[in-house]
A and B are shown apart, each in its own frame.
Chain A
């Protein structure tokens, strides 16, 4: 293989459902332990040891859930669209499965980001929801996830559903920056910027280090749930192949 000089061998092997199942099986325990350690350490650090904010007191601590989930919801969409494009261009089945597995995870993380944002908004802004640029674009991201999931649910043919959903998520990917800027300009045109609290003041290091730990922990958690879903999906779609039958018979 021409590319094997600069890409490790296992990278290509990921394209085969069987190898992907094996490799993710090996990676899973490591990520699982890392996710638990990082999230537990991050939560304890953030809730018990990080200094309270001078204006918001302790209510700002929900940031340690809100910010990682908001970041993750966006990266998950990007992964879904890129995996969809890979599946569409190189016809790699595993990439289709990754895209399929990403959609529900991303949607639930987007819901979490919105919910934690609402809970944070109540004490600081005085209302659960404001039509702020960031909130609105996050809500639209959730709608995009839901559209992709609805498309998957509506199509019985799996390969057709995968192609259709990748086209949709790619269109959404092109549209996300447009939505983001349109919403931002729309907001600043009609509302004065009263929400300066969303703009981070220069955070002291004791405050952003636990945040960093939480972000990495959330990524590990995402990898774990993605791999679990992906492995289920591989087994389900490859159920007629020999190695899955052997695997099931051996258990």
Chain B
């Protein structure tokens, strides 16, 4: 991180992006428990539904799209606080803000790293939950696709909340309050895509809408994330 902040002029945005991405990925692979915890949580939440509501296969197959999506959403929410927390506490974030490089690029790289360590494994692991919840095999691809696109949107939007609450000691519940209402469209279209896949309907429309949200989030969210980080650090 240190050399990244000092050699200013020649390091292009792409270099900066890949450096931050590599560093964040390396850091999360050094703490493997943090990497695995959201995945375990994902499976556990999905286990609660058969136990709490009904273990009957027909019922489970019907609610599976929603359950998988809600579980993925909660698992992402749980991991959001870690995006900026350790960098805030050891002062790295302050150095990044002081450096001449655009904060937006750093934030975007951190969000992508967060998605690669939470959303991506969640999406890849979701067929396991699909089997547990008797989701028809034809719907598996739709589920993985919708989760792949959707969890990146969740990471982008959630990073805004993480940035706003990083300066607070007790950010845990607050971040859910801030972020959950903003997650609703993603949940609607994500579980809609899986339901369409279950019913054998074309799901391109849902995936296109999720993709549109992703495009919008990719463009606009970095502004809000960097603004929120700046507020939290300078405040």
Chain A positions within 8 Å of B, measured between CB atoms, are 88, 140, 143-144, 146-147, 150-151, 154-155, 157, 159-160, 163-164, 167-168, 170-172, 174-175, 178-179, 182-183, 185-186, 189
Contacts and interface: CB of A to CB of B under 8 A. Distances in A.
Point out which of A155, A159, A170 has the most chain B C-beta atoms below 10 A from its C-beta. Answer: A155
A111 to B, nearest CB: 15
A204 B60 CA distance: 50
B188 A186 contact: yes
A167 B231 contact: yes
Nearest to A183: B188
Point out which of A150, A178, A186 has the most chain B C-beta atoms below 10 A from its C-beta. Answer: A178
A30 B174 CA distance: 40
Report, nearest first, the 4 A-B pairs whose CB atoms are least far apart: A160-B235, A182-B185, A143-B181, A147-B178
Contacts of B174: 150-151, 154
Contacts of A183: 184-185, 188
Given A154-B168, A164-B232, A167-B231, A189 B181 contact: no
Contacts of B167: 155, 160
B203 interface: no
A186 B177 CA distance: 23
A185 B227 CA distance: 32
Nearest to B227: A167
B182 to A, nearest CB: 5
Interface of A is mostly: helix
B228 A159 contact: no
Contact of B224 (A144, A155, A170, A185): A170
A144 B189 contact: no
Nearest to B221: A171
Nearest to A142: B181
A160 B164 CA distance: 10
Contacts of B209: 182
Given A151-B164, A151-B178, A182 B184 contact: yes
B31 interface: no
Nearest to A137: B184
Contacts of A147: 177-178, 181
Contacts of B178: 147, 150-151, 168
Contacts of B119: none
A170 B224 CA distance: 9
B116 to A, nearest CB: 23
Point out which of B180, B181, B235 has the most chain A C-beta atoms below 10 A from its C-beta. Answer: B181
Given A154-B174, A160-B231, A160-B235, A167 B181 contact: no
A182 B177 contact: no
Contact of B235 (A144, A159, A189): A159
Interface string B67-79: 0000000000000
Nearest to A153: B174
Point out which of B165, B178, B189, B235 has the most chain A C-beta atoms below 10 A from its C-beta. Answer: B178
Contacts of A172: 181-182
B231 A164 contact: yes
A167 B224 contact: yes
B213 interface: yes
Nearest to B181: A143
Contact of B181 (A140, A164, A174): A140
A163 B178 CA distance: 15
A157 B213 contact: no
A175 B177 CA distance: 15
25 contacts: A140-B181, A146-B177, A147-B177, A147-B181, A150-B178, A151-B174, A155-B168, A160-B232, A160-B235, A163-B231, A163-B235, A164-B228, A167-B228, A168-B178, A171-B157, A171-B182, A171-B224, A175-B185, A179-B185, A182-B185, A182-B188, A182-B189, A183-B184, A186-B189, A186-B192
Given A154-B174, A163-B235, A164-B232, A140 B224 contact: no
B30 interface: no
Interface in B202-235: 209, 213, 216, 220, 224, 227-228, 231-232, 234-235
